[in-house]
Chains A and B, each alone.
Chain A
Amino acid sequence: MIDFINYYLIPGITLGSIYALGAVGISMIFGILRFAHFAHGDLMTTGAYIALTAVWTLGLPALAAIPIAVVGTALVAVFLDKAFYKPLRDLPSIYTVIASFGVALILRSAIQLLWGTDSQVYVVGFQKPLIFFDSLRIALRHMQIIAFTVAIAITLHFFLSYSKTGKSMRAVADDPELARIAGLDTEKIVRWTWIIGGGLAAIGGVFVGLDTDIHTNLGWNLLLPMFAAALLGGIGRPLGAMLGGLIIGVAEEICTFPIMDIEIISPSYKSAIAFIIMLALLLFRPQGLLKGRVL
């Protein structure tokens, strides 16, 4: 049982936290701008590499480099919107989806050009896990990732519920026509969507780097589970997306837990779990768990 918690549940929650941070942006962009942003994973990669540069040049620890990564990635996201998505905004959303595929490729090849393709790490060396109650083992990095994500979820909740910008964002996600007639500044809301989506993606990217390593396919590999998470939480429901991320992350890790010493699902297929959850949702409950929009 304790093995289940140490080696399956806690890594699952950690992975889920990372998915959650990416899924927030996907859900908000889908809800407010009405398109599936296929370059979101590569925004995470961008954040991870900006933090890596800060670690290299300023000698900061990875966690202290997060603000730099957030600002840098948010700027990149706002720029991408201006350059590539805004010119297509009045067309059917499928054009923007195709453009975002291209942006994913552009971001990744730019990263490969600037930083090369070798895997990198923020900190070299093995971290000894902390041991509680004699048998509960948690790695420090897992505790940091989970704690930060919880803090972000609480902040996001208060931002969306009480701040003017947050409330406007929810209004646009619920009914864009009504929001525009009511006189909300849509462009400003779009800008904030990219700042928050990009910033949180950057934090997620840095967490991936902390948890494992940093490589140029880091974000793209997370894209499908993050879409699944956004759908699970309901499109346009950022906190739902975080919950969705957590569920997908935990599901991916614990599904490989051997029951009576038999592995039902081989670990090499665990990334298919997210896809199966996503397909089931699309077919049977497209509004997700928290009644999101069906676009």
Chain B
Amino acid sequence: MELSGLFFYFVSFLTMAGIYAVICLALNIQWGFGGLFNAGIAGFYAIGAYSAAIITSTAASNNVGGFQQSIFVGMAVAAVIAGLVGWGIARLCVSLKSDYLAMATIGIAEIIRLIIVNEEWLTNGSLGVSNIPRPFEGVFKGQTAEIVFVLFVWMIVLLTYFISHRLHKSPWGRALRAIRDNEDAAESIGKDTHSFRTQTFVIGAIFMALAGALSAHYFKYFSPDATEPILITFLAWVMLIAGGSGNNKGAIAGALIVWAIWSMTEILTGFLPSEWATRSSYMRMLLIGLFLQFVLQRYRSGLLPERAPKLDKLRRS
């Protein structure tokens, strides 16, 4: 019993780490490849979560819903909506300098949050959407379902990794890194920097939305309070920098390690005296904030630093 408890703790750990790995890979496409500072990750995550929730859940009394579509339709809709929103935002903001892009994306995430809280006909406001199904719910029950879900999440992680890896190796990825490192030089050889950046931002936004959809299915319920937006954005950044921005394997490793540290601090703060117990989550935030400062000052390039793909294929042709 003890051992199986530990096993299912590990399964739930891997599920959340997998969801964060998708976000982290998406951020790696935007920041690691493209140098786009997105501080509004939570906004796209929320778009994904709500789209999937509304499309797949059973009928609700107060808001639109009851479409009861399959999980895959939900995820497709989430990706399309986030892609369109991301495209609109990218068209406007993507050529802003990094600091300004950070301000703009925070603002966008804030507006998305306001819409979610205020437009009750769509999202049921602060009460949230419930009755969100999990994939293959009809076939697997109980603890098997947990294992099936973690496999499902990591399938998506692998898919994201594969796409991101191909993008990194492709001429597209090469052009993107050139734009990131020297915009003027890239422009001088005829690269349309604005269009490349827009594509990067949209692709990242789509995968962030997929991660949101996954967590909506995992929680089976989603409301504005279900997640702390700043925490998601912040953890994703810590994960990517600690893992190594620009490196896809680093992004996954960062997600696993930082989520492990984050989960362990929960165990550590459990030892605090009881009057501090209610404040343990703030202690964890404080520790993760200090961890970021440590990484930034000492291990800036991350655990697995960026490496350009091998050039041998290029030489042969």
A residues with a Cβ closer than 8 A to B are 30, 35-36, 38, 83-84, 87-88, 91, 93-95, 97-99, 101-103, 105-106, 108-110, 112-113, 116-117, 220, 223-224, 227, 266, 268-269, 271-272, 275, 278-279, 282-283, 286, 295
Contacts and interface: CB of A to CB of B under 8 A. Distances in A.
B247 to A, nearest CB: 17
A294 B118 CA distance: 35
Given A105-B285, A269-B118, A97 B98 contact: yes
Contacts of A36: 99-100, 102-103
13 contacts: A94-B37, A97-B98, A101-B39, A102-B234, A105-B286, A110-B282, A112-B279, A112-B282, A116-B279, A223-B106, A272-B110, A275-B110, A282-B104
A88 B293 CA distance: 10
A88 B292 CA distance: 13
Interface of B: 37, 39, 92-93, 96-100, 102-104, 106-108, 110-111, 114, 117-118, 230, 234, 237-238, 241, 279, 282-286, 288-290, 292-293, 296-297, 300
B107 A93 contact: no
A108 B118 contact: no
Given A36-B102, A97-B102, A224-B106, A105 B289 contact: yes
Contacts of B293: 83-84, 99, 102-103, 106
Nearest to A106: B289
A113 B279 contact: yes
Most chain A CB inside 10 Å of its own CB: which residue of B103, B108, B288: B103
Contact of A98 (B97, B286, B296): B296
Given A224-B106, A282-B104, A87 B297 contact: yes
B107 A278 contact: yes
Contacts of A113: 279, 282-283, 286
B285 A109 contact: yes
Given A88-B296, A105-B285, A269-B114, A38 B102 contact: yes
A295 B234 contact: no
Contact of B107 (A94, A224, A266, A286): A224
Contact of A271 (B114, B237, B288, B290): B114
Contacts of B300: 91, 95
A97 B292 CA distance: 12
Contact of A101 (B97, B98, B118, B237): B237
A279 B285 contact: no
Contacts of B117: 268
Contacts of B297: 87-88
A109 B114 contact: no
Contact of A97 (B37, B96, B108, B279): B37
A106 B92 contact: no
Contacts of A223: 106
Nearest to A113: B282
Contacts of A272: 110-111, 114
A35 B110 contact: no
A94 B98 contact: yes
Nearest to B31: A94
Contacts of A99: 292-293, 296
A108 B289 CA distance: 10
Contacts of B111: 272, 275
Nearest to B111: A272
Contact of A268 (B107, B114, B234, B237): B114
A197 B282 CA distance: 26
